[in-house]
Amino acid sequence: MAQKRTPGFNPNKFSLKSTAKGGAKARTESPAKTRKDSAAKLRADAAEEKAKKKTPGAGVKKSATAKPEKKKYTKRPLTAAEKAAKLADRKAVRALLREKPEKVEKPRKEKKVRAVTVKESPIEVVEPARRKSASGLNTFQRAATAARLADDRKAVDILLLDVRGLCNFADVFVICTATNRIQLNAIAENVAMGLKKAGEKTPLQDGHRNANWSVLDFGDVIVHVMSSEARTFYRLEKLWGDAKELNWQEILMTMPKAANS
């Protein structure tokens, strides 16, 4: 009957082997024991080295030809006079470092003045009312044309004010009233488009579609299209009370028919 073997067990591991000399059989040591012996030896060596370090020179033999150790140099303590002199030197150096060098002003270069000769030219003085634009209309004629274009869209209380000498940014104001915002926008658009067809430049316009006051700036002529509430509140007629009122219908009668159409 075959012998059963336990798993992981080698029966030949601890078998008897003949020695090299007499052939006597001896049982080999187990690996666990060898590991313990080597660990014990290592611990003993470490303890020995540690003991040597604690007692320096225990394991070192002194040679006969060893050079004597040099003595360390120690500074001689300074006397009171030397300390005072050293302190005075430091103070002198600090005083020198604090002193700022004097600024030397450089001589400024004289600028050469160029002689400029101005040619005198005669200046033509033109009255604002007689000044003509690209359309061939003077200031009053353009203001009257703007009033007629506002009247075409049923504007109310159309008024022309001559503000020359009273205002530095315009010569004539055209003021009119619209009954509602839709009519206000229609009047402003009709005035801008009508004068543009006549040859004028596109005016600078201030006031959006939902505003109560729209301003058209043609340079020397400014058109104010206002709602009844805004006109009552701001009262431009009283603000420019010294201005002379102009009859725009009479001005239109003096204009040529081509420009009036």
Whether 33 has a pLDDT exceeding 70, the answer reads yes
Closest CA to 162 of 146, 178, 191, 139: 139
86-115: pLDDT as tens digits = 888 888 888 878 777 777 777 777 777 666
CATH number of residue 197's parent domain: 3.30.460.10
Residue 38, in any domain of the structure: no
| Owner of token pair 């400029």 | 116
Residues 196-208 as b/e (b if ≥16 CB within 10 A, e otherwise) read: eebebeebeeebe
In-domain check, residue 145:
yes
pLDDT bin (cut points 50, 70, 90) of residue 70 is confident
Predicted pLDDT at 126:
44
> Whole-angstrom Cα distance, residue 184 to residue 130?
30
Select the more confidently predicted residue: 222 or 66.
Answer: 222
Residue 134 or residue 250, greater confidence: 250
Domain enclosing residue 242, as ranges:
128-252
- β-sheet bridge partners, residue 228: none
Residue 185 is assigned to a structural domain of this protein: yes
- pLDDT tens-digit profile of 147-202? 999 999 999 999 999 998 888 888 999 999 999 999 999 999 999 999 988 888 88
User: Is residue 177 assigned to a domain?
Assistant: yes
Q: Answer left, alpha or beta for residue 40, where phi above 0 means left and psi between -120 and 50 means alpha.
A: alpha
- Is the separation of the CB atoms in 146 and 191 below 8 Å? yes
Residue 96 lies in a domain: no
Mean pLDDT computed over 51-66: 61
Q: What mean pLDDT is predicted for residues 202-222?
A: 83
Specify if 34 maps to a domain: no
pLDDT score for 51? 80
pLDDT at position 193:
92
Lookup: tokens for 76:
């001689």
> Is residue 231 a part of any domain in this protein?
yes
Domain contains 73: no
Q: How many domains does the chain have?
A: 1
Judge whether 174 and 144 are in contact, CB under 8 Å: no
DSSP H or E segment with residue 259: helix 257-260
